[in-house]
Amino acid sequence: MNGWLLLLFTALLAAVIGFITNVIAVAMLFRPRKPIFIGSWQLPFTPGLIPKRHEDIANHLGRIMMEHLLTVEGLQGRLTEQQFQDEVNTWVKEGVKKWLSSEERSLREITEHYSSWSAPDRKVEQRIKGLISDRIDTYWGEMQAQTIEEIIPDDWSQKGRDIIPSVAHGILQRLRVYLYSKEGKAQVQSTIQTFIRRRGSIVQMLDSFVRTEKMVERVYPEVVDALTSQDIENWLQKKLHEEYDKVLKKKGSDLVSVETVENYRVDLTDFAMNQIPIDEVFHKPVKEWAEKIDFSYVDQVSDTVIHQAGRFLEVNMSGILKSLRLDHVVTEQVKAFPLDRLEAIVVNISNRELRMIKFLGGILGGVIGIVQGLLILFLI
């Protein structure tokens, strides 16, 4: 009977020791929070494992995050998934439409609320005017240094040359029609009479024998044919080609003066300001002027923005991740995370497993106690 009591005693004692040992081991994961000193001597195993290695754990988690979780390849693959892009696109479209349809504030109120801008409508107006002015200055600067032939597209200059024969032929045809018209004949007759009056008495005496009307009537067809002949048309074409080439060789500044540019600047600025309803957009509630928007344009803009944003992020993902330094962010967040909360989270998640570890210590201790008791009884 004494042997059985000894066996039971050693088993219970070892079980209690194993249980208490595992309880202490689990507790030492988080406790004590700070090192304990006896004089100048630091008590071993203080602080607990996690408080002692808190900084190392934070650094390690940061490296794991960047090297194995948030990788460039993984993020790029996610961004290029069609399903992901469709989901983001749908979310953006619905969000924008809902906001446009329900927003009571004006853009001016929104801008002034979320930023330090004051009078954003005037700033936008000045910005648009500045863009127009800068664009005109750039174009004017380029035009001053270039010839007309360099400014206009190549096909335009060739088309101009191609239509010169038609222009010359048209001019002579119009001249022929005019000369045979009543007005044309009267004009020619008036010119001849003026010529005769200016040439003195001898010519006037000849005019008394041969009336001007008769002379015009007889030679008029020959004059018209001579003025509209093929030779004249060829000569006119040649002259038009020469003048056309001269114009093409001129600098842009030869055709457009500084005063003209300034007038264009004013006219284009006024036109742009009249086309863009800045006051309406900035002062009316968003939902009022949004009623005039064709939401198909919102869809098109959203499609374009999402696609371009995806391409931009895909191409620049490596640089973006380096700039964000997410490993540093994770490290700092873990370092700043309170140990009390971390312990509570671990206990809440692994409470059952931690209890099992404690009880397992008791069970193993009991088994070891039984073995020890049997050995003692055997040796006795």
For the chain, the structural domain boundaries read: 1-104+285-380, 147-250
Convert the pLDDT of each residue in 343-368 to its tens digit: 777 777 777 777 887 788 888 888 88
The pLDDT value recorded for residue 44 is: 75
Whether pTM > 0.95 for this model: the answer is: no
Query: How far apart, in whole angstroms, are the C-alpha atoms of residue 319 and residue 3?
Result: 75
Whether the predicted pLDDT of 205 surpasses 60: no
CA atoms within 13 A on the CB side of 219: 11
pLDDT confidence of residue 1: 47
Q: Please state, in angstroms and rounded to a whole number, the distance separating the CA atoms of residues 9 and 6.
A: 5
Least Cα distance to 60 among 249, 330, 255 occurs for: 330
Tokens, residue 57: 């754990």
3-class secondary structure, 227 = helix
**Under 8 Å between Cβ of 85 and 307:** yes
Count of CB atoms situated within 10 Å of the CB of 331: 20
pLDDT for the residue numbered 380: 65
Looking at residue 180, its pLDDT comes to 81
In this predicted structure, what is the pLDDT of residue 138? Answer: 80
| Residue 337 pLDDT > 70 | yes
What is the band of 159 on the pLDDT scale with cuts at 50, 70, 90?
Answer: confident
Strands 37-38 and 41-42: antiparallel
Tell me how crowded residue 153 is: count the other CB atoms within 10 A of its CB. 8
Mean of pLDDT over the chain: 77
